[in-house]
Each structure stands twice: as structure tokens, then as C-alpha cells.
Amino acid sequence: MPHLDFDVAHTLAGLLVLVSFMMLYQDRLYALLRVLALHAFVLACAVAWQARIQDAPGLYVTAAIALGFKAILVPWALHRIVVRLGIHREIETVVGIGVTMLAGMFLVALSLEVMLPVTAHANPVAREDIALALSVVLIGLLIMVTRRNAVSQVVGFLSLENGVDLAAAGAQGMPLVVELSVAFSVLIAFIVIGIFLFRIRERFDTVDLQALDRFRGERR
């Protein structure tokens, strides 16, 4: 049933973009972390579906990593860090939510416009997947630049990374996908541990990046 294969893959990838948009308008940290978990869960479903239709058992491992590590462990760890650091629960944004949403829509349009023509000869499943994955990547970047708080920037990075994972899963028969996703998980673990270590050392009063910049200005 190639139609069903395509429709489900397309729906799941589209859902991932939708969840990315949900991240854009969250102004509470806890809610944002819950959306992050949802994001990774949708990714896990999308990757598992790709594993099924491509008959690539290796991708199930990637899906399992997405589910266990990214959808459960990382949001939980970040949640604990937020509690223990006493970080502001509200997210300071650089520009208003409305502008950010419009920019997000623009980015999705841009990535469809860029990717669909160049992948005209590719398999339709891979083609839609890559275009939507690029949207997720760009929205992840948008989250990173419009947030001041370090934890929400990390969340932006994680959603960006989910987009790259989706692209890797969609590229049919790509070798090393499992290895790459493991390597990426190590990176994520480093980031999460990094935030945590800062707290243990009690070097920072805040993880607000603007405060860090001010601090360096003082030194000069």
C-alpha cells in the first residue's frame, strides 16, 4: 500500500513541523519542556514508520533512542535542572510571539520552495521528508535566536537536531544513521550535563545569556 505508506510518513513529518510551531508560542518553561517531549515522541513515531516502510531495522534503534532518550530522559533532566536552579519559569523572548510565528511560516514556505524543486527526481517520501525536516531545522534556529534564556535555547537546539534526525531517517538506505544518532545523543548529553555542572560549581547566578554578555563587558 504505497499510498498509505506515503500518507502516514507525510502526516508524521507534518506533525513534527506543527509541534515546532507549538514551541514558538510557549512562554512557560515547563510547558515548553512538555512540548519538547511531544516533539521527540512524534519524531520517534516518524522514524519508526520510516523503518517499517524502508524495511530498515537499524532505524528502529534510532526511533528507540528518540523515544527513550529524547522524549523521556532529556525533558525530565531539563525539568529537574529548572527546578533545582530556580530558573525563571517565564521565557523572555526577543521579539513578540506574533512576529515569531509569521517568521516561522515564512521559513516553512522557504524550505518547501527550496527543497521541493531540487528533489523533483527523488522518491516522493524522501522528498517531502527532507523539505519538512528543513522546516523543523530552520524553526529550531528561529527558537534559538528569539529566546534569551539558555534552557530554552537548548530546547531550540534539540528541536533542530530532531529535524536533522528526520532528514537522516528519510534519506532512504542511508548508512551510519544509527551511529550518527548515537553521536548526536552524546552531544545532547554533554549539553544537559553542561548546564547541570554549571549549577554544581555555583559559578553562575543566572543562565540568562544576556547576563553573561554583560558580565564580560564589565571585565573590559
Which residues, in sequence order, are CB contacts of 134 under 8 Å at separation 6+? 111, 114, 115, 163, 167
Examine residue 161 and tell whether it contacts another protein (CB under 8 A): yes
Among 38, 103, 112, 174, binds another protein (CB under 8 A): 174
Cα Rg, the chain, nearest whole Å: 18
Neighbour count for residue 142 (Cβ, 10 Å): 22
Cα 157 to Cα 117: distance, rounded to the nearest angstrom:
27
Examine residue 3 and tell whether it contacts another protein (CB under 8 A): no
Examine residue 204 and tell whether it contacts another protein (CB under 8 A): yes
Examine residue 42 and tell whether it contacts another protein (CB under 8 A): no
Examine residue 119 and tell whether it contacts another protein (CB under 8 A): yes
Closest CA to 6 of 50, 60, 61: 50
Least separation in angstroms between residue 155's CB and another protein is 12
Report the Cα 163 to chain-centroid distance in Å: 6
Cα 92 to Cα 32: distance, rounded to the nearest angstrom:
13
Among 39, 171, 185, 192, binds another protein (CB under 8 A): 171
Cα 193 to Cα 195: distance, rounded to the nearest angstrom:
5
Output 4 or 186, the one with its CB closest to another protein. Answer: 186
Stretch binding another protein (CB under 8 A), from 16-24, 32-40, 91-99, 127-135: 127-135
Least separation in angstroms between residue 174's CB and another protein is 5
Examine residue 83 and tell whether it contacts another protein (CB under 8 A): no
Examine residue 91 and tell whether it contacts another protein (CB under 8 A): no
Stretch binding another protein (CB under 8 A), from 39-47, 62-70, 87-95, 125-133: 125-133
In single-letter form, the type of residue at position 91 comes to I
What is the crossing angle of helices 57-65 and 29-54, to 10°? 170
Examine residue 141 and tell whether it contacts another protein (CB under 8 A): yes
CB 134 within 8 A of CB 115: yes
Report the Cα 161 to chain-centroid distance in Å: 5
Output 92 or 96, the one with its CB closest to another protein. Answer: 92
Examine residue 57 and tell whether it contacts another protein (CB under 8 A): no
Which residues, in sequence order, are CB contacts of 94 under 8 Å at separation 6+? 145, 146, 147, 148
Contacts with another protein by CB under 8 A lie at 114-115, 117-119, 121-122, 126, 130, 133-134, 137, 141, 144, 150, 153-154, 157, 160-161, 163-164, 167-168, 171-176, 179-180, 183-184, 186-187, 190-191, 194, 198, 201, 203-204, 212, 215-216, 219-220
